[in-house]
């Protein structure tokens, strides 16, 4: 089974590395590629870079396509080579998947029209721009589209996908091997649980880090044929 993760500048590394760690244990014959335009190191939002394992030309097909998110998605959507590769691989993949705002990249590639999908709560409202139905769930399965919510939801997403492909018993064994037994110290991991002041503070921080990103995304959607 070949699993291809898109790697692009300013990706949220946990969107990629969390599910990659889980899915790399899918079983014998599993091969994970981190795919980018070139083999040069790709900067992440965590301040360190990740080396791709393959270029777009070297991975024309995959059984599972997974698109992570991050502040770099607008740049990925603006890049024709990236969107062409996502569209081509996703059209033929057995499973078309994403984590966090990676679902917006799938949408920009025309792969979510008529599908239910998850996204990071902060940009979930942008999914209908690409013909998708936004769903406020941690993991959404709609036929062969499996999408996860924000960042840490990528681990839950990966286990859900593994169970669909390899069965629950295998997924449970991998969960035990990774000691995935989350026990967060705070109950503020979603806007439904965090207080209003904390949500507002987060939104102000995002606007400072990525001013006008929604307006830019709307312009990019129009360029990709969406209004």
* Residues catalogued as catalytic: 100
Q: How far apart are CA 112 and CA 128, in angstroms?
A: 10
The answer to whether 98 touches 36, Cβ cutoff 8 Å, is no
Single out the residue of 176, 132, 141, 178 nearest to residue 160, CA to CA: 141
Q: Phi first, then psi: give them for residue 34, nearest 5 degrees.
A: -105, 110
Length of the chain: 227
The answer to whether 82 touches 225, Cβ cutoff 8 Å, is no
- 220: which residues sit within 8 A by CB, 6+ positions away? 74, 77, 78, 108
Q: How far apart are CA 6 and CA 4, in angstroms?
A: 7
Q: How far apart are CA 73 and CA 27, in angstroms?
A: 30
The answer to whether 78 touches 109, Cβ cutoff 8 Å, is no
């Amino acid at each position: 089974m070949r699993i291809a993760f898109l790697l692009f500048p300013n990706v949220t590394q946990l969107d990629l590395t969390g599910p990659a760690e889980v899915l790399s244990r899918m079983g014998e014959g599993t091969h994970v590629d981190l795919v980018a335009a070139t083999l040069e190191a790709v900067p992440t939002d965590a301040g360190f870079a990740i080396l791709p394992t393959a270029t777009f030309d070297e991975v024309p097909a995959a059984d599972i396509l997974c698109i992570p998110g991050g502040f770099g998605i607008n740049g990925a959507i603006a890049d024709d080579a990236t969107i062409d590769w996502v569209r081509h691989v996703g059209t033929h993949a057995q499973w078309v998947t994403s984590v966090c705002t990676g679902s917006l990249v799938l949408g920009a590639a025309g792969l979510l029209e008529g599908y239910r999908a998850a996204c990071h709560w902060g940009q979930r409202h942008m999914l209908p721009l690409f013909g998708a139905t936004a769903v406020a769930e941690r993991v959404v399965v709609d036929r062969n589209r499996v999408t996860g919510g924000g960042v840490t939801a990528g681990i839950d997403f990966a286990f859900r996908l593994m169970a669909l492909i390899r069965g629950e018993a295998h997924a449970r064994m991998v969960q035990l091997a990774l000691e995935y037994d989350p026990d967060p110290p705070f109950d503020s991991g979603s806007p439904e649980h965090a207080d209003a002041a904390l949500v507002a503070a987060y939104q102000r921080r995002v606007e400072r880090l990525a001013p006008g990103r929604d307006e830019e995304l709307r312009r990019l959607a129009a360029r990709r044929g969406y209004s």
